[in-house]
Amino acid sequence: MDLERSPLAQPFPEIPSIDGVTLRIARAHYKSWDRCDLTYVELAEGTTVAGVFTKNVCCSSEVELGREQVRLGRARALVVNAGNSNAFTGYRGREAVEQIMAQVAAHLDCQPSDVFVSSTGVIGVPLPKDKAREGVASVLQAPACSWEDAAITIGTTDTFSKGAVAKAVIGDRTVTIGGIIKGSGMIAPDMATMLGYIFTDAAVEPGFLQQCLSAANESTFSCITVDSDTSTSDTVLAFATGKAGNVPLASLEDIGSEAFAAALHDVCKRLGMLVVRDGEGAQKLIEVQVSGAVSDDSARRIGLAIANSPLVKTAIAGEDANWGRVVMAVGKAGEPADRDKLSIGFGGVWAAKEGLPLADYDETPVAAHLKGREIDIEVDLGLGEGSATVWTCDLTHGYIAINADYRS
Q: Which is nearer to a copy of itself, 389 or 403 (CB)?
A: 403
3-state secondary structure of 373: coil
DSSP string, 117-156: EEEEEESSSPPPHHHHHHHHHHHHTSPP--HHHHHHHT-S
Residues 124 to 143: which contact a copy of itself by CB under 8 A?
A: 124-125
- 146-152, Cβ contacts within 8 angstroms, sequence gap of 24 or more: 146/23, 147/12, 147/15, 147/23, 147/178, 147/180, 148/12, 149/23, 149/25, 149/36, 150/23, 150/25, 150/39, 150/41, 150/180, 151/12, 151/180, 151/181, 151/182, 152/36
d(CA 149, CA 16): 14
Which of 187, 195, 198, 224 binds a copy of itself (CB under 8 A)? It is: 187
Count of chain residues binding a copy of itself (CB under 8 A)? 69
d(CA 179, CA 355): 43
Q: Which is nearer to a copy of itself, 289 or 361 (CB)?
A: 361
Q: Which is nearer to a copy of itself, 243 or 325 (CB)?
A: 325
Burial class of residue 47, CB neighbours in 10 A (0-12, 13-18, 19+): buried
Q: Which is nearer to a copy of itself, 44 or 294 (CB)?
A: 294
Which of 157, 232, 291, 298 binds a copy of itself (CB under 8 A)? It is: 232
Q: How far is the CB of 117 from a copy of itself (least distance, A)?
A: 18
Which of 198, 325, 345, 391 binds a copy of itself (CB under 8 A)? It is: 325
Tell me: is residue 354 an annotated ligand-binding position. Answer: no
Given the residues 89, 153, 176, 193, select the one marked as catalytic.
193
Which positions touch a copy of itself (CB under 8 A)? 55-59, 87-90, 92, 122-125, 185-187, 189, 192, 227-232, 308-311, 314-315, 317-320, 322-325, 327-332, 334, 336-340, 342, 352, 355-357, 394-397, 399-401, 403-408
| Active site residue ranges | 193
Q: Which residues are annotated as a binding site for substrate?
A: 156, 182, 193, 280, 403, 408
